[in-house]
Structure formats: C-alpha cells, structure tokens
Structure 1
Amino acid sequence: MKTEAAKAIRVVKGDPRGVFYDLFEPDEAAELTMRAALLNALQAWLAQSGLTQAKAAVQLGLTQARVSDIKRGKINSLSLDLLVRLAARAGFSPKLKLAA
C-alpha cells in the first residue's frame, strides 16, 4: 500500500530541449544552452589535458582565476563570446547551427 507521500509524487516531463527552457524565456534559454555546451567541453578539455590551472590559463590567454571559474562551472561569469574564443583556443572548432 502506498504512503500518502508516495501518492503525492508526480512526475513532470520537462521541455525536451533542456531544463533552461523550463526556467527561462526561449531567447535566454537558447543562449544558456550554448554556453553550457561550450563550458562542458572546456571542463572536459581541462580534465583530460593534465595541465595545471596556471598552464591552462597561459594556453587559453586567461588568468588562473578564470580557469578556476571554468572548472567550477560558473556559467554566469563566462559570456558566450568568451566561451567561443576559449573553445577555439583549446583546439575545438565551435560551429553555430540554426534550425527553424
């Protein structure tokens, strides 16, 4: 027999494009989705590169504190244009694809 708490649990399906579309207006959600994808790629690059934050900072043309922001996922402190430039400096080829 289900408890009252178990009966109250309701599964809500979010927007298939991602959680940002559940929380923000579509224009802001689109930007946050792109920023998150770039940030995730840079975090993976940092993890697999074996570079110290100081050496990664030199390669990316940043301060060590900004590399720390990337490692900690501080999406609000990193603009879309900066993330695109950093991804290119890390050896990625960022592309934009528009869909109707």
Structure 2
Amino acid sequence: MKARRFASVWDAIEPDRAEAANMKLRAHVMMAIAKAVESWEGTQAAAAKRLGLTQPRMNDLLRGRIDKFSLDALMNIADKAGLKVRMAVSRKAA
C-alpha cells in the first residue's frame, strides 16, 4: 500500500473536498473563539453569557467539539466575541 500525504487532517478524513474545506474553516474559527475566551478574565459561565451560549454549549466550544457547531453558528459566536472573520476565495490549482 502506498502512503498518501494530505495538506490537513480534514483532507484525510472527510469524504470530499467541500466537506474538508468546511471543517477547516470551522476549526479555525472555533480555535480563534476559544483563544479570545481564554484571554477574558472571569468564569466560563460569564463568557457563555457574553456569547449568548449556555454553559454546556460553552463547554462544547472550549473542548473543541466541532461536530456540535455549524460554520454559521461559529460565525455568529465569533461576532459576539468581537472577532472579525475574513475568508479568501480563489480558483483551485489545475
């Protein structure tokens, strides 16, 4: 069996490129939110309230449970966290 190399873990485990791209974006936004939350002083409960989340949902976010969040939901949470998310779109390499 020949070893294959992938640009990211998502490329290796997702069945198609579109889903891998979605998961990469979700992972990046989720990590940025978690980093922002970690920089705030206060409790996890206070951070959850600030983001409009329940405590269990906040716990899911901070533990990286990516399957529990859509890209749309993460974008809304990022906005509440005071983050600006930018995305670049380009053509695929031939």
TM-score, scaled to structure 1: 0.81
Which has the higher Rg, Structure 1 or Structure 2?
Answer: 1
| Distance in 1 between residues matched to 2:21 and 2:32, nearest whole Å | 17
Amino acid at match of 1:33: K
Deviation at 1:45, TM superposition (A): 1.1
Give the one of 16, 21, 24 matched to 2:11. Answer: 21
| Distance in 1 between residues matched to 2:39 and 2:11, nearest whole Å | 30
* Equivalence for 1:54: 45
**Partner-residue secondary structure (3-state), 2:31:** helix
RMSD: 1.3
Say how many residue pairs are matched.
88
| Distance in 1 between residues matched to 2:72 and 2:5, nearest whole Å | 28
* Equivalence for 2:33: 42
Deviation at 1:13, TM superposition (A): 6.0
Give the one of 13, 37, 56 matched to 1:65. Answer: 56
Gaps (5+ residues) in structure 1? 1-11
| Structure with larger RCO (C-alpha < 8 A, sep 6+) | 2
Deviations along 1:39-88, one digit per CA (max 9) or x if unpaired, are: 11111112111231111111101111111011111000011101001111
| Distance in 2 between residues matched to 1:97 and 1:91, nearest whole Å | 20
* Equivalence for 1:33: 24
| Distance in 2 between residues matched to 1:88 and 1:30, nearest whole Å | 21
Deviation at 1:14, TM superposition (A): 2.5
* Equivalence for 1:91: 82
